[in-house]
Amino acid sequence: MWAVVGLGNPGRRYEDTRHNAGFTFIRRVARSWDVRVKKRRFLSKTAEVRRGPERVVLAMPQTFMNASGQAVRELLAGLDLEPGRLVVVYDDVDIPLGEVRIRKEGGPGTHRGMMSIVQEIETTRFPRIRIGVGPAGPDVDIVAFVLSPFRRGEKALLEESLDKAREALEMILAGRFDQAMNAYN
């Protein structure tokens, strides 16, 4: 079994913002897998699907971004899942829009949702897919930037990022992690 968690903030106000790239990703994957992410459990909206021999739970925490770790902790405990079977998908302002980066493990960087997850589950040993939403620019207020919607001209690049992230996820779930990293890093 795998858990795939997309990070974002709940509520319409944040729906199309850069910080909700993880939620956008989960919705897109769910649509392509013909499931709906709506069941409320583990402080998240979830859907469960079978992909080949694996059960996969898609989750969108319904805590705010800075408390994402609470939902992830509940999810792992509720599913009796090791962190190595968790894939977290989230926005990254240091990666250009249209690009993704894949990592097997590592620190949270400056992303507060990731900081919360690492603090709550007490490990950095879990895979992640970072979706590029940047660059923000040197004089830009980062909080305002990530809470802003994508501009019309950026939507095609966002679609590219989401497609790449979905392909990388499929590779990860199939046990081809190194291939995913080589393809997208």
State the pairing for strand pair 86-96/100-103: unpaired
DSSP 148: S
Other beta carbons within 10 Å of 63: 19
Residues with a catalytic annotation lie at 19
Distance CA 121, CA 26 (A): 21
3-state secondary structure of 179: helix
3-state secondary structure of 40: strand
Q: Measured in Å, how far apart are the chain's first and last C-alpha atoms? A: 25
Q: What is the DSSP string of 11-58?
A: SGGGTTBGGGHHHHHHHHHHHHTT----EEETTEEEEEEEETTEEEEE
